[in-house]
Chain A
Amino acid sequence: KNEVEQSPQNLTAQEGEFITINCSYSVGISALHWLQQHPGGGIVSLFMLSSGKKKHGRLIATINIQEKHSSLHITASHPRDSAVYICAASDMDSNYQLIWGAGTKLIIKP
């Protein structure tokens, strides 16, 4: 069993839909990261969470430490949101090494 699991693996939606991507982890973490990777590979860090909720534009990330679960939401989705979204847990027991989820490939159709 992977220590960080994401779902769904693939998600296709229509423009304007509300998107939710989930991430569950089994390790003790100091923080959880959400990253966006576009075709071609470039990675952009979206959020780093250790508790609660953060919002940036149309993106919202939440984390529930007790349940070891985080979600990334996209409101009013747009085709330019199409990318792979990756969650990664910073493992406090392993010198803060990141344990990566497999990623969620999101396609937003116009």
Chain B
Amino acid sequence: GAVVSQHPSRVICKSGTSVKIECRSLDFQATTMFWYRQFPKQSLMLMATSNEGSKATYEQGVEKDKFLINHASLTLSTLTVTSAHPEDSSFYICSALAGGPQETQYFGPGTRLLVL
């Protein structure tokens, strides 16, 4: 079946640095990718919808200048957490929407970010 990869799977960084997380659809093209985050013991929350070739659509309360999303190609979307703070520590998951009659969605395995 279709595969979505995320890189890195885990990252530890110092406060104030920027971290880039990549989401790739490995064997299909995805015009739309979604980014979610999950705080400990909570459900996943949609951060933004990433559309290839256009600006991402951010959910209310998500700072677009802090969480930069770039969907430069049909197989790659990146999420950059800028000037990371400890409260940004979370689990970030992407999903990619494959075309076809059912608009199948495939999930990346997630990236665990720890900001010290």
Contacts and interface: CB of A to CB of B under 8 A. Distances in A.
A97 B34 contact: yes
B43 A98 contact: no
Interface string B34-58: 1010100001111001000000000
A98 B110 contact: no
A86 B49 contact: no
A11 interface: no
Nearest to B38: A41
A95 B91 CA distance: 23
Contacts of A33: 105
A30 interface: yes
Interface string A85-100: 0101010000111101
Contacts of A88: 44
Contact of A41 (B32, B45, B91, B104): B91
10 contacts: A42-B110, A43-B109, A50-B102, A96-B97, A97-B46, A98-B105, A100-B36, A100-B43, A100-B44, A101-B43
